[in-house]
Structure 1
């Protein structure tokens, strides 16, 4: 793990199977110097053909970086558990499901995808909740790493800011299970997956 807010990045001799951009309190469309540095780093990685994964802030930042658009959502805050329809299937998406539920905490959204992105999951509240770009980029607005207790703690922390209705809906939604483990498995399979053209060469 590297704290990019403090300028920490992998050294030139470190090689990884993929690079994951996590959530952040910051806006993906922010102008802080560390965000601009991160965008350039990720663009360099993308142009080298490295695999990139994004969660929440990372999901939004990669969309913005690669030609999409992110902004403060007119729908307001998304909190608690949220259900999405799965709109696409891919070899690394096993087990096959019709719906996906994840824990969320965000007030920004991707409002326009990069031109070559494919939507994976969507809802009326969040139309671009997950997407992939070929076999190189995979991103989710929801948090596969969250657990219910952590999500509940975030709700308590932000209760006054969220307002009573959003807070109560978020707390009530925590009665539902989520597919965080499944999404984590998808991400690992995505990293390991090689396109058919590559596997048949030689």
Structure 2
């Protein structure tokens, strides 16, 4: 039986706010998705960024088959106690040799912990969909992206991005908005696969995120009015209910890579399938 650890970096207040709106914290969403993908797995959830959290040791993490880092509002370029604790946790993951995977802020945490840099996206953000993601030459045959179309769209909500990958990293995919959309990082004894988008989220959760961030979307120029945001969120809600609906796919300009759950989760599925072959040094 697979034994996974999910690390969430939301603050306690942010976790409670997400539960009120979406029913689960980011880490709880990740755990639910993993249980759907691997029904007989066991999943622990940790909050290493919390004040008073017990620091993990490499031996504590080495017993897991994999560690997953969820998205969160954490800005890893800010020198705060929560950020320092989260980065130290990720360095311990690398030191343990346990394979790891992260999305959105999870990718950014791994990048910063391994010596790369993350920045705010001035005058830009991706919200709802990350469009026209394309493999790099190094990503063409990488197992993380196995089965992906030549270009694809994915659920995304972020205002930060990877500025510079660390030494020992490989850029696997990007798009016109965010250069680093998928990457592999080899650091210390560990290997990490990550994406800037959200393969773990349902379309309903993306719709909820858009509604919660309506003012930010308007400020960024992605929408003129809250009604515009609501219209996009409503389409995502409808596609969540009827992913096969051609009319909804046409209105959103997406295909099965985005509309179908199996398409959205492809990177997670590929990572889990690759675990037996990943080096544990």
TMscore range, shorter length: 0.7 to 0.9
Q: Which residue of 1 aligns with 2:202?
A: 147
Cross-structure match for 1:3: 47
1:166 aligned partner: 222
**For the structure 1 residues 92 and 142, does the alpha-carbon distance in structure 2 shift closer, same or farther, using more than 3 Å as the test?**
closer
Asked if 1:181 is matched to 2:242, the reply is no
Q: Which has the larger radius of gyration?
A: 2
Give 1:90 shift.
1.7
| 2:23 aligned partner | none
Structure 1 pair 166–182 and aligned structure 2 pair: CA distance change class (3 A): same
* C-alpha distance after superposition, 1:121-144 (max 9, x if no partner): 100101001100258110111001
**Cα distance between partner residues in 2 of 1:8 and 1:159:** 36
Q: Deviations over 1:28-61 (max 9, x none)?
A: 2222213212211221221232212111111011
CA contact (8 A) 2:111 2:185 kept: no
Residues 1:124 and 2:176 aligned together: yes
Structure 1 SS opposite 2:46:
coil
Where structure 2 has 5 or more consecutive residues not aligned to the other structure, the ranges are: 1-44, 237-251
Whether the 8 Å contact between 1:92 and 1:193 is mirrored in structure 2 is no
Q: Which runs of 4+ in 1 moved over 3 A?
A: 8-14, 167-170
Match of 1:34 in 2: 82
Say which is worse superposed, 159-168 or 117-126, in terms of deviation: 159-168
Compute the displacement of 1:194 (Å). Answer: 3.3
* 2:212 aligned with 1:157: yes
Consecutive unaligned residues in structure 1, runs of 5 or more:
none
Question: 2 CA distance for matches of 1:28 and 1:190?
Answer: 28
Q: What is the TM-score of this pair, normalised by structure 1?
A: 0.84
Identify which range, 79-88 or 36-45, moves more after superposition.
36-45
Q: Which runs of structure 2 are paired with 1:44-59 in the superposition (5 Å)?
A: 44-59=92-107
Give the superposed CA RMSD. Answer: 2.6
2:161 counterpart residue number: 109
Aligned residues: 196
Post-superposition offset of 1:10: 6.2
Residue 85 (str. 1) matches residue 85 (str. 2)? no
Assess if the C-alpha contact under 8 Å between 2:144 and 2:193 holds in 1.
Answer: no
Aligned to 1:138: 193
